[in-house]
Amino acid sequence: MSRFIIFFFFLFIAPFHVLESPFYTGNTAVSKPPESYPKNYFRYPLNIAPSLAGNFGDLRTNHYHMGLDLRTQQRENLPVVAAADGYVSHIRIEPYGYGHAIFITHPNGYTTVYGHLNKFYMELEDFVRNQQYATESWEQDIDFSPGQFPVQQGQFIAWSGNTGGSEGPHLHFEIRDSGLADGHNYNPLLFDLNIPDHVPPALYRLGIFDRNQSIYENNPRMFPLHKKVQVGERIYTPADAVIKVPYGKFSFGLSMQDKMDNSFSFGVYKADLYVDDSLYNEFKIEECIYGDSRYINAGIDYFMRYDGHGYMQHLSRLPGNHAPFYNSAGDGVLQLNDDSVHQVEVEVLDVAGNTSLLQFGIQRDSSVHFPENKMGDNIVQKLAPNQPATFENAAVQISLDENALYDTVLLRYNASNAPPEAVSALHSIGDYRQPVHTAYTVRIKSAVLLPDSMKKKVIMVMQSGRRKDAQQCIWQGDWAAARWMNFGQFYLKLDTLSPTVRPINVYDGAIFIRDQQLVFEAKDETGDLQSFNGYIDGRWIMFRQRNNRYTYDFDDRCPPGAHTLEIRAVDLAGNETVYQCSFENRAK
């Protein structure tokens, strides 16, 4: 049945006829009208041929990518220019995230963001440096008024770099709505930045999930896909033209990537699921606020990704997935009510309109079953999405809000002996391969009576798979609390060890002639430092941070001559390490 006939039926016949669908589907949602974006208003912010290392909606750890990563020929310090007339409204300097970033507000209601920069243009750089020394802080978040730093389209604003959370030289570029809070971002490719794209998306594997139970208790069936090329599009099929599906509810997942000319592989822009020419689910990532970008963990098979098997995106909406990327008339959960063969088509598009199609048939078969999935032991409570939940016993308490879970979680718990420096048991809470959307509270009772002076030295340690982290605690009597974004293993640790400070290029009596910087590595075994500060001749100097490395570039606080240096590093528990030495600057 063609889509035109479907349209004719619902327009003229359906109002007078009750149609029983062969499928079970979830609640319907109304599609939003298409947004109108200004074309050719913004220019490409680099003076080189456009090429991307990442697109809007690219699949990243715990977030959809919220902008474009523009390639800089594997080099740093390329000139970055303003995409349109406007004014510098904000700058940010941080050790992770954007690194050095400029925000430019434009008269058409949009703001552009430029991240991972090395340096700002001279007037702005001088202003920011004065603020850093005035506040004795390298990290900065500064707002500006329209008249302070106006810019014109094409004006030099910064040097590209590799700062913050960047893993290689590139420019991160965003387009935001100036009037909306929470980082309301739009897909920059919709603004026609003249980035060539003639390559359709690539499809790799189809997954079928058992939706009679939680997605986290699933063991999906997988089907490799085969490609055949036709004029203007690519068509993919599984080896079996008709896939047998079990009785009951099921949904699809798809491993897929977008492609572009002279670029890498990216997240897809749009994927529509049709069954017998009826639309059952639509995914389109056109805009997003930063708070919603974490919904990627509901949009992918999280187990598969965590276990290192790549990304598979759900062609359905999980019960606790409230992201605005699903605009169609269904949640993508299906159930066949007859034994006929039904035709499935998944249409995957990029912003340029390049299209790939997945086509196959499905048929109900009572002899087919999903692979058995062993749920494991130590299940203590069933936690449902869209409602608050708690679990507690005599030694631990957890509290989750109504937005914390994407699907039902069968909470596993056990207690065991913690490391020698611990002052509590080791509490295993949940499965670290089950994602959490919002921070939840873990409260642990100390197994040791501690005076208030010692409680300041206690931190809560979390081990979640390969990740280890620590936080300061909030105490209520003998209970210590902290908030976390992962399930895992938790315990209280009495931390009396000071952080390590290792000089890289300085020692007592060192002489600097050509090398005009001081470099240190500083870290704590339980996590990030609370602070790292340096002083030359008793005056604060500005170290920039890159992971555990701290670098001070000689400036007017280190003129030629003999100097004393003092470094102070403090960890989360307040333990401090002090390093002191003398050196001489003999620069000419």
pTM over 0.85: yes
Among the listed residues 231, 220, 198, the one whose alpha carbon sits nearest the alpha carbon of residue 303: 220
pLDDT value, residue 309: 86
Among the listed residues 232, 251, 194, 280, the one whose alpha carbon sits nearest the alpha carbon of residue 6: 280
Q: Are 377 and 412 in contact (CB under 8 A)?
A: yes
Stretch 436-450: mean pLDDT: 96
What's the pLDDT band for 336 if we cut at 50, 70, 90?
very high
Stretch 557-566: mean pLDDT: 97
What's the pLDDT band for 183 if we cut at 50, 70, 90?
confident
As a whole number of angstroms, the distance between CA 516 and CA 191 comes to: 44
As a whole number of angstroms, the distance between CA 349 and CA 358 comes to: 12
According to DSSP, residue 486 is labeled S
Condensed to tens digits (0 to 9), the pLDDT of residues 44-76 reads 999 999 999 999 999 999 999 999 999 999 999
As a whole number of angstroms, the distance between CA 586 and CA 514 comes to: 8
Q: What is the mean pLDDT of the chain?
A: 91
CA angle 146, 77, 102 (to 5 degrees): 20
pLDDT at 6 over 80: no
pLDDT value, residue 327: 74
What's the pLDDT band for 8 if we cut at 50, 70, 90?
very low
pLDDT at 201 over 90: yes
What's the pLDDT band for 193 if we cut at 50, 70, 90?
very high
Higher pLDDT, 87 or 331: 87
Count the alpha carbons within 13 Å of 354 in the hemisphere toward its beta carbon.
18
pLDDT at 124 over 60: yes
Among the listed residues 337, 345, 211, 180, the one whose alpha carbon sits nearest the alpha carbon of residue 279: 345
Look up residue 353 and give its two tokens.
């309109």
pLDDT at 29 over 90: no
pLDDT value, residue 226: 94
As a whole number of angstroms, the distance between CA 400 and CA 396 comes to: 14
pLDDT value, residue 182: 67
Look up residue 424 and give its two tokens.
């509590």
pLDDT value, residue 17: 29
Strand partners of residue 493? 422, 459
The CATH T-level fold of domain 379-494 is Chondroitinase Ac; Chain A, domain 3 (2.60.220)
pLDDT at 189 over 80: yes
What's the pLDDT band for 92 if we cut at 50, 70, 90?
very high
Helix (H) or strand (E) holding 132: helix 122-135
The CATH T-level fold of domain 52-191 is Glucose Permease (Domain IIA) (2.70.70)
Contacts 24+ apart (CB under 8 A), 373-381: 373/217, 373/218, 373/219, 375/217, 375/410, 376/412, 376/431, 377/412, 378/412, 378/413, 378/414, 378/428, 379/410, 379/411, 379/412, 380/411, 380/412, 380/413, 381/410, 381/411, 381/413
What's the pLDDT band for 465 if we cut at 50, 70, 90?
confident
As a whole number of angstroms, the distance between CA 243 and CA 254 comes to: 15
pLDDT at 7 over 80: no
pLDDT value, residue 118: 97
Stretch 360-387: mean pLDDT: 87
pLDDT value, residue 9: 35
Look up residue 174 and give its two tokens.
């965003």
- The residue extents of the domains of the chain are 3-12+197-364, 52-191, 379-494, 500-585
Condensed to tens digits (0 to 9), the pLDDT of residues 145-174 reads 999 999 999 999 999 999 999 999 999 999
Higher pLDDT, 255 or 33: 255
* CATH numeric code, 500-585: 2.60.40.3780
Stretch 547-572: mean pLDDT: 97
Condensed to tens digits (0 to 9), the pLDDT of residues 286-328 reads 999 988 999 999 999 999 988 888 999 999 999 999 999 987 6
Condensed to tens digits (0 to 9), the pLDDT of residues 9-25 reads 333 333 322 223 333 33
Q: What share of the chain is helix, strand, coil (3-state, %, to 5)?
A: 10, 45, 45
Q: With b meaning 16 or more CB within 10 Å and e meaning fewer, what string describes 94-124?
A: bbeebbbbbbbbbeeebbbbbbbbbbbbeeb
Helix (H) or strand (E) holding 454: helix 452-455
pLDDT value, residue 1: 39
According to DSSP, residue 12 is labeled I
According to DSSP, residue 72 is labeled -
pLDDT at 402 over 60: yes
Task: Report which residue type is found at 84.
Answer: A
Strands (E), 287-438: 287-289, 313-314, 341-349, 355-364, 379-383, 389-392, 396-400, 409-416, 426-429
Higher pLDDT, 466 or 301: 301
For the purposes of burial, counting CB atoms within 10 Å of the CB of 392, is it exposed (0-12), middle (13-18) or buried (19 or more)? exposed
Q: Are 46 and 78 in contact (CB under 8 A)?
A: yes
pLDDT at 404 over 90: yes
Q: Classify strands 202-210 and 110-120 as parallel, antiparallel or unpaired.
A: unpaired
What's the pLDDT band for 376 if we cut at 50, 70, 90?
low
pLDDT value, residue 466: 83
Q: Are 412 and 430 in contact (CB under 8 A)?
A: yes
